[in-house]
Structures are given as C-alpha cells and as structure tokens.
Structure 1
Amino acid sequence: MISSTDAIAPARRASANPRDPVFYQNPYAFYDGIHATSPTFFWDNYGHWCFAGFKEVNQLLRDKRFGREILHVATREELGWPERKPHVADFDLAEKYSLLNLEPPAHTRLRTLVNRAFVSRQVEQLRPRIAALANELIDGFEKDGQVELIHAYAAPIPAIVISEMIGVPTEMAMQVVAWSNRMVTMYMFGVTEDTERDANQASADFIAYIRTLIAERRVRPTEDLLTHMITAEQDGQKLTDDEIVSTAILLLNAGHEATVHTTGNSVKTIIESGIDRKAIFASDEQTAATVEECLRFDAPLHMFTRFALSDIELDNGVSLRKGDQIGLMLGAANRDPVRFANANTFDPFRTDGQNVSFGAGIHFCIGAPLARIELQISLKTLFDRLPGLRLTKEPSYNNVYHFHGLEELQVAW
C-alpha cells in the first residue's frame, strides 16, 4: 500500500495550478490527461489524493468512512493543525453549523428540520413564480437588444426565489449575492490574508442581518422557512440561533451560487454548440434532459473534499491516515470517458446521461429539485423569448476553481 507521498509513482502524480488562468478557464484539458493516465492521482498543488472517475467519485461521496468534517473525531493537535485564525472568526461561525459540513447525528437533525421545504412536491408549486420572474426580467432588457446576462438574469432568479422562500425581502436578494460572492473567495487556492479579512467582514455583516430577521420573526411570525426553523421541534429540541444563522446563510448561498453558474455555463454551451434550440426545449421531458446534460457537460462545482474518519486502505492502492483529505472531482467525473460516450461532446439527446453535479449520499444537495426547476424554466424561457441569442464577447470564468462559473456573459439578439 502507498503510505507516503514519497512512495507515490510519478504516473500517479499530477500538477496544475488552480490559480493559472490557462487551467481554470479550461480544466477539461487537464481532466483529459488524468483520465488517460490515472483517474486516481496525487495532486501535488493541493497535497492530497484526488479521484476523477465517475464510479469512484459516486462511490466515495456515499462512503461513510469519509466525512465533511473531522474535528468530531479528532483534535486539531492530534491532526497537527494550527489554531484557528482570529481574523476569520465570523466566517468560521457562519460555517460552524452548516449542513454542508456537519456529520450525523447533528447533520441528520438539522436536515430533517429543513428538508420538507425543498422536496419536489413543494418546489413544484414555485413554477408559476419562477416563470413570472423570468419573463419579468426579460421584459426589462429585451428592448435593449443586448445585455450582460449573469447580473441581469442568471443571478436574480435563484437569488430572489431562495430569498422569498427563507423570508429575506426581495430587495435584499442581490445584497445576499454580494455577501455570498465575497465569502466564496475563501475556497480559492492560495487565499491571501486580505481575502480572508474581506470574506470575514462579509460573514459578519451577513450574520448580523440574519440575526435581525430572526428577532423580527420571533415578534411577527410569517409563512417562511426562517419562521419554520425558529418554531420547529424535533424530539423536544429546537434549533439554536447559531444553528439557524448557519443554516439560513448556507441555504441562501447554496440556493443561488450553483444555479447562477449553471445558467451562465449552460447558455454559453448551448450557443457555442450551434444545436437546434427549439429541439432541445421541445417538450418538458426534453427540457429536463437538456438541463441534466448542461449540468454534466460544464458543472458548477468541480471539487468537493472529504476527510478520512479513520485509517483507510482503498482497493486502488491508496492508503489514507485518519484526517487525510481527499478531493472528489465532480467536473472530471462528469466527463469520464469510461462512463460517457463522447464525454466531451454536449449532447442533450444522449441516452447515457447522468451527473454527480449535486453530489451524492447524505450531503446530496438539498436544493437540487429547486435548482432543476429554476434551470428548466429560466433556460427554456430565455431561448423561447430570445431565439436569436448570440455571444458578443468571449466569456471568461471566475478565478475560483472549485466554483466554476462565468465572470460575465455578454449576449445580443
């Protein structure tokens, strides 16, 4: 078994700087090389093992020997970690009770309390609101003949919808997006202290705002998810304010971030493919298939990490120690040529469609049903209303490798 980085064969190592524009503008070229050599490899820049095969990623996302957190089974001292940085205390507080990071039983308790708001039968009721919002936004810029689509269309739809669900006033939706965008920079490779401090300030402002809303709802309850989190009980226990704050921030951030990226990436992909737009949105079933292919072809999230909760020996010759981190490469798994025919071809009519863009296992994205509906409606409405949609500038991706989305999308019709 491979037990140290020194013992790793060169064929199983790879290097790619996540901050290099050549890489993050097109990580798929790197993935092609990985798939052709060793889909399980040690990424030197990150300093941990990564998995790019669809089968392996899908299995490891469900493997209970791995977790999103590790400090529930090991101390920082035991892991050799430094103490937390005081200047990111607010960011840490916002993340402390995040569903994305917690493991059972805390994860189970929190997810159970909010899950019912996101099940398919609940979010299906939002279709008329999403359609009205999409048409309203297009009404606002259609006469101009051109627009920057990320800020004018892709971002407002999911931001407004998730804000309304949780109980954030519509006029605050784009402020939520601004806070979220600053917080997400913490996931960049090689984060600077200036970035950390800015993300921390955004977290502090976000936390303060959510606490204000919580105080208001205690006095004047309404029909929203925030009120539900305040009043809901499970086994006689209620959520603490810190748990509500973390959960609300996670839902607001995750409730728009990936959908914004997918919308922009999808519009770019569809336009560049030259494919018949009427055909790919010809029916509800085909629209759903088109969205799934968009999620596969240019995923909004490219890496999730997990910790080994104990010493583990994997079948493919990798030995991990308790606390070791691994990278599960969603974007690469979705382009695995072993799993998909013509993996690098955008084909909304493919019969082998599937993706891991929403994750799998207990951390499968709670908002997946909502995101799918938003994408189905927003993309079909956009191309129905603006059939001549075309790019007016070469799109470029943000310098945040994990979160794969466009900086801007200049289009005309």
Structure 2
Amino acid sequence: MADTTAAARVESIGADFFDDPHAHYRRWRATGPVHRVRFPDDVVRWVVVGYAEARLALADPRLSKDIATATAILHDKRRTIPTDPNAVALLTHMLSTDPPGHTRLRKLVNKAFTTRQVAALRPRIEQITEELLDAMAGADDVDLMEAFANPLPVTVICELLGVPFDDRDDFQAWTRALVGVVGEEEHRPAAAAAMAKYLSELVRAKQTKPADDLLSELVLADDDGDRLTDPELVAMAFLLLVAGHETTVNLIGNGVNALLRSPDQWQALCADPAGVPAAIEEFLRFDGPVDMATVRYTAEPIALGGTEIPAGEIVYVALAAANRDPARFTDPDALAVDGHPTGHLAFGHGIHFCVGAPLARLEAEIAFTALLRRFPGLRLAESATTVRWQTSTLIRGLLELPVRVR
C-alpha cells in the first residue's frame, strides 16, 4: 500500500541546509526514503534520500531526463519565472537526454573520450600538480581552494578540451550562476547567453581549424556518417567543461577538508600513500562533489519506497543522502579511509553514470598523493574552524579552505 503521509508532509530547504545538508537528510530519512521538499524558489519537488530507492530511481526509465519537458514542468510550477532558451540549449546534452538520443550521444562522445586518452594525461597532471605545490611551498597560509583544488582541474580540462586558460574567470563565473547557486538566479539568463555565445564561437573555431584536443575530436567524431550537430557540440562542450572541473575541484576540496578534520586518518595516509585510491572512494561517499543529481521528472506514476509519486512531478535523487544511508553503510557519518567502501553513488548509476569519472579519479589520486608527500604537516588554519559552502543543491563544495602549509 502506498504511503500517503510522505505525500502530505512537506519538508523545506532553508539557508541552514547548505552548511550541513546531512543533518536534514538524517531527519528526513528517519520518517522515510522519499519526501516532498520546498526549495528556495518556493517550488515543491520530490527528493529521494534512501540508498536503495536512489539506486532504483537513477536507473528507472520512468524517471525521464528530457530537459525540455522537465523545464516546461518547472515553468508551469513556478509560473512567474520565464524559461531561458539559452539555458535549455546548454542543458540539451547526454546527461539531460533519454534513449535513444542519449545512446547516440554517448556513443559519439565515447569515440572521442577514451580510457586510453585519460591514462595518457597522467604525466601532464603530475606536472601541473607539482607546479602548484611548488608555489604553495613558499607560503605559510594559503586558501587551498584557490591555490590548488581549483586551478588543477581547471587547467587540465582547459588543456583537454582546448579552451583558453585565460578565459577561466569568465566561464567559472557563468558556471556559478548556472549550477543552481541560491542568490544567483537573476544573473542566470545573462550567464547562459554569454556561455552559449562563448562556446558557439569556440566550436566554430575548432571546425575551421581542428587542433589536438577533445573538442576538435568531438567535432570530427563520426559513427557511420552520424555526427554531432552544432547545437549538440555546444551543449556537449558545456557539459564537459562544467562537469569536468566542478566535480574534481570539490572532490579535492571536500576530501582535504574531511581529512584535516580527522588528523589520525591524514597521518595514516601519509604513512601509507598506497591507500589513496581507496581513500578517494571514501571521500566520494562521505562528502562527494554532487549533492542532488540533475533533474528528473515522472513520465508516469511511480512508487518508490512505498510512496506513490504522480506523473508530471519533478524528482531529485540526493546522492549525498544515499551515500550516508545507515541501511547501506556502517557508521556512515564517520570518515573511514581504510574502510574500502563499495557501491557509493557519487558518480551516479545506470546509463547516466558520469563519463568523466575516470578522469576525476586520476586527478584526485595524483593530487592527494603529491599533497600528502609534499606537506605531511598540513593543517587547518585557525580561521577554518567554520567553513562556508556553496549555496547549491547540485554542487557540494567549499568557497574557501584556509590551511597552514608550515
């Protein structure tokens, strides 16, 4: 029998949510794995917080990812907020597409973005890492986000895609407005227009003069005569540029923050750096870079965890909540770098599993191994007693992380 109490009760996301979403998730999970939640834009959405239900939802085709329909549903619920065509165009990529369109797009991307290409990036990532750590070595205190966690992935994705590094401040500012940061809504249309124009010009440049980079490979990708259209190239460039740096920036930042608040585990990794790959999986589980997965909607009624969700409802899968579900993980609110966690959902699950996961893992492995080796005495600065988080339900990331280098 369907649970009617979840449908009647409405939780809410206020300003305190972003400092500690896990406290909210624990409270919500105590009364069930699926909840109606009022977001800061005053629209009520459904949020899945249980691990088993999240895993099912991520792979259920009845929860559609078609961005055009999802946007129309949100527009109808908001009523006063107009639909931004530039934002919709940027989001029409494989992460926001159902089969067979998704299958086609992913196949073309896989032709250009291979495991072998990712592995070949190791020497360059190691070089960038050492250069950033050399710069840190001359300081007493640094903001680790500004000095290391941010520039490493941004440099890598710019070089990989063929995006000028000097443009990073612009596209990161546009990204902030576009990833659901509370308080940035009024800037979203201008950011979407600027990002769309920038990427359109970049795609045209690669079409005119292809280079040795991933975006040029995408321009040239061919599957028996099937190629990405110009709008698809722009949307794909947006996905890879934004996801390609935001995920790893916050994997590094969140992981270092968690480690430095558990000094015994920092020391354990310093003593045994071979444990870094397993520790990265724990960072992803404990405080991963994505809080709630991107938007889905019910194409037909669906029951999750005994709760009936009607058709035409917006649904978010809270990956951060699922990864701390005590029904799946032992002592989930404790960091355990030697716990060898398996089955976390930080990169999603099913056909929309993150295509950039191997690159994020490689960058994080190199970053943590080098950081532990170079600065075994690294510790939080006094000003890091409390930290500020991005006010986003999509991105889970720090605004700054002050640390003492020596």
**TM-score normalised to structure 2 length:** 0.89
CA distance in 1, matches of 2:114, 2:271: 26
How far apart are residue 222 of structure 1 and its match? 1.3
- What residue identity is the alignment partner of 1:219? T
Are the structure 2 counterparts of residues 278 and 208 from structure 1 closer, same or farther at C-alpha, using a change threshold of 3 Å? same
Give unmatched runs, 5+ long, in structure 1: none
How far apart are residue 70 of structure 1 and its match? 6.4
**1:258-297 matches, cutoff 5 A:** 258-280=247-269, 286-297=275-286
| Corresponding residue number in structure 1 for 2:22 | 28
Give the number of equivalent residue pairs. Answer: 398
| Corresponding residue number in structure 2 for 1:307 | 297
**1:315-347 CA distances to partner (integer Å, 9 max, x unpaired)?**
633223322122211101111111111111100
What is the aligned-residue RMSD (CA, Å)?
Answer: 2.7
CA distance in 2, matches of 1:82, 1:340: 37
CA distance in 2, matches of 1:234, 1:259: 30
Are the structure 2 counterparts of residues 117 and 294 from structure 1 closer, same or farther at C-alpha, using a change threshold of 3 Å? farther
- What residue identity is the alignment partner of 1:308? T
Are the structure 2 counterparts of residues 75 and 43 from structure 1 closer, same or farther at C-alpha, using a change threshold of 3 Å? closer
- What residue identity is the alignment partner of 2:18? Y
How far apart are residue 290 of structure 1 and its match? 0.4
Of 264-273 and 207-216, the range deviating more from structure 2: 207-216
Aligned with residue 399 of structure 2, among 369, 390, 407 = 407
**1:133-190 CA distances to partner (integer Å, 9 max, x unpaired)?**
0110111221112111112211111111111111112333343322212222xx246x
Q: Is the 8 A contact 2:34 2:304 kept in 1?
A: no
| Corresponding residue number in structure 1 for 2:327 | 338
Structure 1 residue 42 corresponds to structure 2 residue 31: no
CA distance in 1, matches of 2:223, 2:200: 22
Structure 1 residue 149 corresponds to structure 2 residue 144: yes
Q: Is the 8 A contact 1:259 1:375 kept in 2?
A: yes
How far apart are residue 227 of structure 1 and its match? 1.4
Structure 1 residue 232 corresponds to structure 2 residue 196: no
Q: Is the 8 A contact 2:389 2:399 kept in 1?
A: yes
How far apart are residue 100 of structure 1 and its match? 1.7
Structure 1 residue 102 corresponds to structure 2 residue 97: yes
CA distance in 1, matches of 2:84, 2:6: 37
Q: Is the 8 A contact 1:146 1:412 kept in 2?
A: yes
| Corresponding residue number in structure 2 for 1:366 | 355
| Corresponding residue number in structure 1 for 2:287 | 298
| Corresponding residue number in structure 1 for 2:53 | 56
How far apart are residue 78 of structure 1 and its match? 12
- What residue identity is the alignment partner of 1:323? G
Of 257-266 and 275-284, the range deviating more from structure 2: 275-284
CA distance in 1, matches of 2:66, 2:401: 36
Give unmatched runs, 5+ long, in structure 2: none
SS in 2 for 1:319: strand
- What residue identity is the alignment partner of 2:109? V
Structure 1 residue 324 corresponds to structure 2 residue 320: no
**TM-score normalised to structure 1 length:** 0.88
CA distance in 1, matches of 2:251, 2:244: 12
- What residue identity is the alignment partner of 1:218? Q
Are the structure 2 counterparts of residues 281 and 124 from structure 1 closer, same or farther at C-alpha, using a change threshold of 3 Å? farther
Aligned with residue 168 of structure 1, among 155, 163, 170 = 163
How far apart are residue 82 of structure 1 and its match? 7.4
Q: Is the 8 A contact 2:6 2:35 kept in 1?
A: no
CA distance in 1, matches of 2:32, 2:265: 36
Q: Is the 8 A contact 2:75 2:81 kept in 1?
A: no
Are the structure 2 counterparts of residues 232 and 285 from structure 1 closer, same or farther at C-alpha, using a change threshold of 3 Å? same
- What residue identity is the alignment partner of 2:298? A
Structure 1 residue 380 corresponds to structure 2 residue 375: no
Aligned with residue 193 of structure 2, among 197, 204, 216 = 204
Aligned with residue 86 of structure 2, among 90, 103, 106 = 90
SS in 1 for 2:261: helix
Of 86-95 and 130-139, the range deviating more from structure 2: 86-95
**1:109-128 CA distances to partner (integer Å, 9 max, x unpaired)?**
11111124444332111111
**1:180-217 CA distances to partner (integer Å, 9 max, x unpaired)?**
12222xx246x6xxx34422222222222222222222
- What residue identity is the alignment partner of 2:376? P
| Corresponding residue number in structure 1 for 2:133 | 138
- What residue identity is the alignment partner of 1:368? A
- What residue identity is the alignment partner of 1:402? L
Of 337-346 and 269-278, the range deviating more from structure 2: 269-278
CA distance in 1, matches of 2:72, 2:322: 32
CA distance in 2, matches of 1:86, 1:340: 42
Are the structure 2 counterparts of residues 82 and 280 from structure 1 closer, same or farther at C-alpha, using a change threshold of 3 Å? closer
Q: Is the 8 A contact 1:12 1:41 kept in 2?
A: no
CA distance in 2, matches of 1:396, 1:136: 27
CA distance in 1, matches of 2:73, 2:349: 31
**1:248-267 matches, cutoff 5 A:** 248-267=237-256
How far apart are residue 132 of structure 1 and its match? 0.7
Aligned with residue 390 of structure 2, among 395, 398, 409 = 398
Q: Is the 8 A contact 2:255 2:283 kept in 1?
A: yes
Of 29-38 and 238-247, the range deviating more from structure 2: 29-38
SS in 1 for 2:403: strand
SS in 2 for 1:337: coil
CA distance in 2, matches of 1:78, 1:351: 40
CA distance in 2, matches of 1:250, 1:71: 16
